[in-house]
Amino acid sequence: MNEELLTQEWQALIRQYSDVLPVLQALAESHRVDLARNFYDHMLENPDSSPYLSHEQVRTQLSSSLQRWVVSVFAAQRAEQVLECIEMQQHVGKVHARIEVPVSLVLRGARQLKSHLSRLLLESELDAQLQHAATRLACQLIDLTMEIMSQAYSASHDRNSRAEEAYRLFSVSQNLGAEKERQRGALLDWENQLMFALATGQQASYLPRLGDSEFGLWFRHKASHAFQGSPESTSILAYIRGIDSQLEALRAREAGERQELPIDLLRQTREQTKSIRFLLDSLFEQANDLEAGRDALTHLLNRKFLPVVMSKEVLYSRQSGHGFAVLLIDVDHFKQINDTYGHEAGDLALQQIASLLTSNTRGGDYAFRHGGEEFLLVLVDIEAGRALQVAEGLRQRIASEPFRIGGQTLQLTVSIGVAVHDGHPDYQRLLRRADQALYQAKRDGRNRSILLAS
């Protein structure tokens, strides 16, 4: 999205209606409370909006935010003001994508806002020509903001969808050993069926196609998508097509009478199937690659899947009424370890802490390497008091653990910021509160856990 072109388009629009822009500015400023109240009264009548507007705190915050939004849209004139307003629309679009507000709901709200502004202008003492010009400018500016929001929404939603699909594939791949053996078995079954059919002289039309076999269907519809772009996947697909093409050629040559056993085809197929098995093993090894979804150093989840996990937990909390918490953990004075003992020693310390985190949390919780010496835990189905107890238990466990690094034993401590989901649909707000709690824990002297109240 080119902000410079959008800025030029925005300024061209307000230059075209420069004589009525002050009218709109004054109208938005004087009626902003009324506009916001009317907007949300109308939206609350729509049952589709209830998941996003039912939270009292959200309604209170959104009302003041909408008032500021209306005023800012009609107040922006200079290039820097317009650019700031454009960036605000992009931010709103990204937030809407993050909390999965339907675009149709946003457009419905914009339509209601334009309708109410038009009524206010009709009720004003302006002459008809100025009323018409002001209405056109108001509608075009709101349409432009919706276009900018929608572009940002679409881009962010696409990224979230790709991450969610990657997480789904990652989750499925957690049982890689069983899947690998199942698909190797399916490939062997097809090979045995083909060998038996060839050996017993069955007509070519009855020879089993690899692409239609259990293995072929799995690979074409699932694995090729999961491993898209890898040379091994491309080669396996080529082998499948090649083998089936040979079988098609055999069918085409068949004249109905019994034929000699095609030894060359048998030998070639066995070699190709052997190659497929080799490539398949290689793909499953790659699926185990920690970079697919885990931090290569600590084996914890990396930040790639944090938006997906947080969105899922927010949705689950909304549907079930169960809360969840975020623990943001920072290793105290970590730079001194790197400076004194070297980065390899620092890596060992992070690995030991990661191991302690995974062994002292429940199977349903999520542990992330958040970056550098920071870790992040998502504790599911938990309330504030218990979340703080878990944080304190982890802090004490780490503080009492002897860390053996470079032949020496060190004592490390961590600071932990705790925040509990309060029903707000935007998970970024929860992450910010956890970050604020962590900052307070470090400011208060480190080696402590702080729960930031809602």
Higher pLDDT, 287 or 377: 377
User: At CA 320, angle to CA 63 and CA 310, rounded to 5?
Assistant: 65
Mean pLDDT of the 163-173 span? 59
Average pLDDT estimate for 242-265: 71
Does the pLDDT of residue 62 top 50, yes or no?
yes
Choose among 83, 70, 84: nearest CA to 25.
70
Torsion of CA 191, 193, 196, 201, to 10 degrees: -110
pLDDT for the residue 105? 81
Residues near 10 by Cβ (< 8 Å), separated by ≥ 6? 76, 82, 85, 86, 141, 144
pLDDT in tens, 327-345: 999 999 999 988 888 888 8
Q: What pLDDT, on the 0 to 100 scale, is given for residue 61? A: 67
More confident residue, 429 or 257: 429
pLDDT for 42 equals 75
Q: By CB neighbour count within 10 A (0-12 exposed, 13-18 middle, 19+ buried), where does 258 fall?
A: exposed
- For residue 366, the surrounding DSSP H or E stretch is strand 366-371
pLDDT of residue 349: 92
Q: Which residue do the tokens 């009709």 mark?
A: 122
CA–CA separation, 282 vs 95, rounded Å? 40
Give the Cα separation of 252 and 115 in Å (integer): 69
Q: What is the pLDDT of residue 56?
A: 60
Confidence of residue 65 (pLDDT cuts 50, 70, 90): confident
What is the structure's pLDDT at 142? 92
Among 308, 29, 280, which Cα is nearest to 159's?
A: 308
Residue 315, SS3 per DSSP:
helix
- What's at 66, amino acid-wise? L
Looking at the chain, the whole-number percentage of residues with pLDDT higher than 90 is 37
Q: Give 6-37 pLDDT, tens digit per residue.
A: 899 999 999 998 888 998 999 999 998 888 88
- Lowest-confidence range among 75-89, 176-190, 330-344? 176-190
Answer positive or negative: Cα dihedral of 54, 58, 63, 65.
negative
3-state secondary structure of 403: strand
Average pLDDT of the residues in 121-129:
89
What is the pLDDT confidence band of residue 410, given thresholds at 50, 70 and 90? confident
Given a cut of 90, is residue 53 above it in pLDDT? no
Q: Work out the percent of the chain whose per-residue pLDDT is above 70.
A: 87
Q: Is the model's pLDDT at 201 over the cut of 60? A: yes
The pLDDT assigned to 60 comes to 64
Question: What pLDDT, on a 0 to 100 scale, did the predictor assign at position 103?
Answer: 80
What's the pLDDT score for residue 97?
Answer: 80
Alpha-helix residue ranges (DSSP H) falling in 254-383 = 263-287, 306-320, 334-341, 343-359
Instruction: Select the more confidently predicted residue: 254 or 101.
Output: 101
What confidence score (pLDDT) does residue 51 get? 66
State the angle between helix axes of 21-30 and 56-75 in degrees (0 to 180), rounded to the nearest 10: 160
How confident is the model at residue 50, as a pLDDT? 65
Residues in the chain: 454
Residue 402 to residue 450: CA distance in whole angstroms: 24
Which residue carries 């400023």 as its tokens? 29
Query: For the whole model, what pTM was predicted?
Result: 0.54
**Average pLDDT of the chain, as a whole number:** 84
Q: Is the pLDDT of residue 259 over 70?
A: no
> Which of the four pLDDT bands, split at 50, 70 and 90, describes residue 291?
very low
Query: How high is the pLDDT of residue 405?
Result: 77
Q: For residue 298, what are the CA distances in angstroms to 97, 163, 295?
A: 31, 21, 6
Q: What is the mean pLDDT of residues 37-62?
A: 68
Between 324 and 105, residue with greater pLDDT: 324
pLDDT bucket at 219, cuts 50 / 70 / 90 = confident
Q: Which pLDDT belongs to residue 373? A: 94
Cα–Cα distance between 208 and 187 in angstroms, integer? 12
